[in-house]
Structures are given as C-alpha cells and as structure tokens.
Amino acid sequence: MRHALQGGKRLRAFLVLEGARLHGVEAGAAIWPACGIEAMHAYSLVHDDLPCMDDDAERRGQPTVHVKWDEMTAVLTGDALQALAFELVTHASTGSAAIRAELALSLARAAGGQGMVMGQALDMAAERARAPLSLEQITALQAGKTGALFEWSAAAGARMAGADPAPLIRYAAAMGQAFQIHDDVIDVTGDAAAAGKAVGKDAAAGKATFVSLLGLEGARARAAELVDAACDALSVYGAAAATLQQTARFAISRHS
C-alpha cells in the first residue's frame, strides 16, 4: 500500500485542499478527504495496471505492484486502499457526521459501477471489441474513468462548507477532460522517462484516442478550450480561484 501511494502528482488531493480553502474549510480537516481520494486513485492504478487489464510494468517511475510482488498482492493492495479511502473520508477529524456521511456517499457513487469502475469497464470493453470509439464514446468513458474522481475532489470543500458544489463540479469536469486529452497528447509526444510510465501504447494498439480522432493540433486546441471553460466556471469566486485556474493550465502543459 505504501509503494502504491508514493509519488504521483497528488492533483486530486490538491483539488480537495484548494476547494476547501476557497470555502474557508481548515486544511487540518480537508487533509483527510485529500488523503482519502489519493488512496482511491492509487487503488485504481494498481488494479488498472494488472496483467488482466492494461498490463503495465511501470507506474510513477517505479515497478507496478504486481511486478514488484505478484498479482495476488496487487489485487489485495488495491482492495485495502479502497477501504482506506472510505476510512480516511469518514475520519472524525474530517468534520461533522453530516459532512462525513455525505462525502462517503458521494465518493462511493463516484468510484463505483456508475462512475470510475464503469469508465474502466467501458475502456476494457472497447479494447476487446477492437472497434475504435467515437469522440462521444471516449468522452463518456473518460467522464467515468477520470472525471468522476476529479469532480468529487473539487467539490469536497464546498460540501464540507455546506456550499453549492456546482461551479467546482463544472470546473473539474472540463479540467478533467482537458487533462485526459493531454494524457493522449503525452502518449504521442512524450518520453517514458519524463512520464514515469510507458508511452505510445495507445497508438501501437490502434486504440482511438482524442489525438487519433482530432489530430494532434485539434486535440491541443480542444484541451485549451476546455481549460478556458474550466476557468470561466470559477468566475464566481473572483481572484480567490486563481490557483485552481492555474492548475487547469498546468493540466495541459505538464510532461507527465
């Protein structure tokens, strides 16, 4: 579990902490759901890397759990990390019982069979069918696979403050999509050392990606539009949202 949690960008945790700061929620409370969402994300990576899924040997510049240990350990590590996510989110220090119950319920929905797991299942099904997806299908798939946890992360602080999470959810939905498009761009243009994982896999597998459907420049332009939409969604927060707006710009300029 420790191996799987090390490294990474901590982007989801950062979204939780920034969303909390925007609403005056103390970092000492927000750190619990911030750690929880990183445990949830780490579990999904450990299971997605399994031989029966994406079969990846490297993650965050380290051997994947099933490579360093074995498949059994990877399955159990992911299982325990998912439980840990709920343990952290419902920790007494997160806040009132109402906050903890709402965060746990919304996290379960975001992570489960109608959220992240559905996105991964659609991804695997498309790969099996060897029928490249349409732009609409890829967008729906990524909304589950990446978007659901992004939205939960950005909205957590508003939920903790009893405020309307809608602007942050709109921000995260657009930013998450831009993030994923940029992942496809990195897969084509990046190098494995910088990315900390294999690149060029999607193109080699003949998978439809945002790049294959929109072209490299088209994909970059679409990602930039989405980042603008993400930034606009936060206008209600004024200058206080500058860090989250910069985060959205980072999402399409990063190399890993």
205 near a copy of itself, rule: CB under 8 A:
no
**How far apart, in whole angstroms, are the C-alpha atoms of residue 142 and residue 18?**
23
Interface map 67-86 toward a copy of itself (x if CB under 8 A): ---xxxx-xx-xxx-xxx-x
Bridge partners, residue 63, by sequence: 58
CA–CA distance from 228 to each of 95, 200, 223, 251 (Å)? Answer: 33, 28, 9, 12
30 near a copy of itself, rule: CB under 8 A:
no
**How far apart, in whole angstroms, are the C-alpha atoms of residue 54 and residue 31?**
31
45 near a copy of itself, rule: CB under 8 A:
no
Stretch of 25-33, 65-73, 130-138, 161-169 lying at the interface with a copy of itself (CB under 8 A): 65-73
**How far apart, in whole angstroms, are the C-alpha atoms of residue 118 and residue 115?**
5
Residue ranges in the chain assigned as alpha helix (H): 2-5, 11-22, 27-48, 65-68, 71-89, 97-111, 116-129, 135-142, 148-161, 166-189, 192-195, 201-204, 210-214, 216-233, 242-251
| Nearest distance, CB of residue 247 and a copy of itself, angstroms | 26
Question: Which has the closest alpha carbon to 103: 145, 157, 150, 144?
Answer: 157
Size of interface with a copy of itself, in residues (CB under 8 A): 43
140 near a copy of itself, rule: CB under 8 A:
no
Interface map 94-133 toward a copy of itself (x if CB under 8 A): --xxx-xxx-xx-xxx-xxx-x-xx-xx--x---------
| Nearest distance, CB of residue 5 and a copy of itself, angstroms | 12
| Nearest distance, CB of residue 186 and a copy of itself, angstroms | 25
Q: Which residues bind a copy of itself (CB under 8 A)?
A: 1, 43, 47, 50, 52-53, 70-73, 75-76, 78-80, 82-84, 86-87, 90-92, 96-98, 100-102, 104-105, 107-109, 111-113, 115, 117-118, 120-121, 124
